[in-house]
Structure 1
Amino acid sequence: MKWSEFFTSSVGKKLVMAFTGLFLISFLIVHAGINACIWADLVDSNDNGEMFNKAAHFMGASYVIRIMEIGLFLGFFLHIIQGYMLEFKNRARRKQGYQVAMGSKGSAWYRKSMGLLGTLILLFLIIHIQDFWIPSRITYATTLGEVTYNNGAPIHDVFTKMLVVFSSGWVVVIYLLGCFSLCWHLLHGFQSSFRTVGVHNKKYVAMAKGAGIFFSIFISVVFALMPISIYYGWVNNN
């Protein structure tokens, strides 16, 4: 089988979805870790976003990270395209119907709604890129202020940008809907990725499911708490 035929086959598409999914899961861990720096204010009242701004500056100033961002966007692109291709193929199959009604024995709703959940996440991602990635990577000269710590070189004040963005209740609601969609998307996608790459032993499948449930809930709650913390004034730069 040619490589071109492999990536257009059902197995190839699922493998691309699995590997890009696992890659994006690792990105979520790093992204959540960076964003969690906003809570340094809860430990040190004099932090005023310093830890977060320094972490954001490192991510934007490192050439290695910037190159990895290209791979990240490529991963998003492949995951989204292959996801829609599989969704359209599955929908075409469903039109044929089942000989026996599945009833409550069918797949969980979120498994059958991966396309919808993925679309909601895509819309959330577009908003998130517009709110933060573009200002911190492209238009920073006109959209971000600068701050200096310990007489060092001035860096972009992304923390204040977060405070401004999440001061609007409707924006917070949109982000919470994105986190809700992410949770359900991961709930199936996490364990499904491991099964696709060859994890079939009952013991390890059970472990993957358990880890997937924990990760899906934990990472989504962490992301959701960030806009909530800012909106309700649990963290600030005063």
Structure 2
Amino acid sequence: MSNFLTASIGRKFIMSISGLFLMMFICVHLGVNLLLLFDDSGELFNLGANFMATNPLIKVMEPVLGLGFVVHIIWSFLISLQNYKARPVGYDKSNAAYSSTWASRNMLVLGALVLVFLVMHIIQFFIPVKTGGLEATMIDGVEMHNTYALVAGLFKSSVLYCILYIIGGALLGFHLGHGFWSAFQTIGMSNQYWLKRLQCIGKIFAIVVAVGFAIIPLYFLIKF
């Protein structure tokens, strides 16, 4: 088992599995965030945020999710370092654009920029929610954090944050565009029948995620 984890294919497999797990989280997270667009009173989003904060299964999955992020980040750097050591001498890049996509050649850079966006997200939203520094609100007789006031308030008050959030969504989309099909390729779906379809699905998934995250700050910029 230790040989598998240290081997190139083992590292890629772990990064792929952790990446697919994180993609599922992104879908759930985006779904809850999109509730911001359908109710300006904030009740719908607060209900969704409260469900995510109090659901026992979600609480169990939170440390697993955190571990998934750590594993994915560490393994991506290990693989990039391994690839660099395997190719210490510069090579001809003149035909790189024809043999691979821009995203595939810059996955580490994209990942690092997405990490910056994630850290910013944690500082602005996750930590305030977890530390209990939010005002309370009552919905259907249930007291809960007014998470809507925090999130919507930041989008309404800061054009800069809205722009950074849009850029972060676009970077995440670029990262997922290659990462989606690459993850499935690593776990065995690498024949031409599956690969072409997965590449197409990956592009659609990346666009949906990028547009989904970008449309939220755009909504607040335009409406408020």
Bucket of the pairwise TM-score, normalised by the shorter protein = over 0.9
Instruction: Give the ranges of 4+ consecutive aligned residues of structure 1 lying more than 6 Å apart after TM superposition.
Output: none
Give me the whole-angstrom Cα distance separating, in 1, the residues matched to 2:137 and 2:105.
Answer: 47
Amino acid in the other structure paired with 1:7: L
1:158 aligns with 2:156: no
| 2:90 partner SS | coil
Which residue is 1:58 aligned to? 51
Matched with 1:185 is 175
CA distance in 2: counterparts of 1:103 and 1:117, whole angstroms: 18
Question: Are the counterparts in 2 of residues 168 and 231 from structure 1 also a CA contact under 8 Å?
Answer: no
Cα distance in structure 1, aligned partners of 2:43 and 2:202: 33
SS of 1:147's partner is: strand
Unmatched 5+ residue regions in structure 2? none
Tell me the equivalent position of 2:111: 118
Q: Kindly tell me: are residues 104 and 121 of structure 1, through their superposed partners in 2, closer, same or farther at Cα, counting changes over 3 Å? A: closer
Match of 1:23 among 21, 42, 45: 21
d(CA) in 1 for partners of 2:2, 2:74 = 15
Which residue is equivalent to 2:187?
A: 197
AA matched with 2:51 = F
For residue 213 of structure 1, the aligned residue among 191, 203, 206 is: 203
* 1:86 partner amino acid: I
Counterpart residue identity of residue 119, structure 1: A
Partner of 1:222: 212
Quote the RMSD (CA, aligned, Å).
Answer: 1.6
* 1:8-29 Cα distance to aligned partner (Å, 9 max, x none): 1101110011101111111111
AA of the residue aligned to 1:163:
A
> SS of the residue aligned with 1:232?
helix
Q: How does 1:19-168 map to 2 (within 5 A)?
A: 19-41=17-39, 48-98=41-91, 102=95, 104-137=97-130, 139-140=131-132, 142=133, 144-150=134-140, 152-166=141-155, 167-168=157-158
How many residues are matched? 223
Hey, what's the Cα distance between the residues in 1 that align with 2:97 and 2:137? 57
Percent sequence identity is 36
- Contact 1:24-1:76 within 8 A present in 2 as well: yes
TM-score normalised by the chain length of structure 1? 0.88
List alignment gaps of at least 5 residues for structure 1. Answer: 42-46
